[in-house]
Amino acid sequence: MGVGHDAVLKLYAGTASRADLLTLQAFYNALDRQRVLYALPSIHTVAEEADCLITIEQRLAGTQLSVLLPTLTKNQLDPAMQRRLSATFAVSLIQMPSDWDRSKLFDPGRLSERRDGDWRQFLAR
């Protein structure tokens, strides 16, 4: 199984279920990616080898804030935090896929079905 520079291989040794990874893959595929200027996650493949689940995912370019922030000067910090805030706002504009039938992504008991109202009603229970 070859992985190029634009992909990441992730191993899940007893830390995730195949069903959850397939749910996450379907959710990522259903997102309206045209609503944001930023790359969103994508799972290309979910596989199983021995007792280990494997995903091949799209590599997302960037630097972790925990690595970046300590290197910035005071003059660079405000613009960096503004970009972070803008990115957070853009992600918040992504609508839940219309065919997604629940408020919680991982909900095997189907306690958050959207037929019972939106996420506000789910939280109010």
* Residue 119 falls inside a structural domain: no
CA distance 63 to 87: 14
* Residue 49 falls inside a structural domain: yes
> How high is the pLDDT of residue 18?
93
> How high is the pLDDT of residue 4?
78
Q: How confident is the model at residue 95 (pLDDT cuts 50, 70, 90)?
A: confident
Q: What is the pTM of this model?
A: 0.74
Neighbours of 46 (CB within 10 A): 19
8-45 per-position pLDDT tens digit: 999 999 888 999 999 899 988 888 888 778 888 999 99
Q: Residue 48 belongs to what domain range?
A: 1-61
Q: Structural domain tally of the chain?
A: 1
* Residue 110 falls inside a structural domain: no
36-87 per-position pLDDT tens digit: 788 889 999 999 998 899 999 999 988 888 999 999 999 999 999 999 898 8
* Residue 117 falls inside a structural domain: no
* Residue 76 falls inside a structural domain: no
CA distance 112 to 102: 5
Q: In what order do the strands lie in the sheet with 43-49?
A: 7-12, 52-58, 43-49
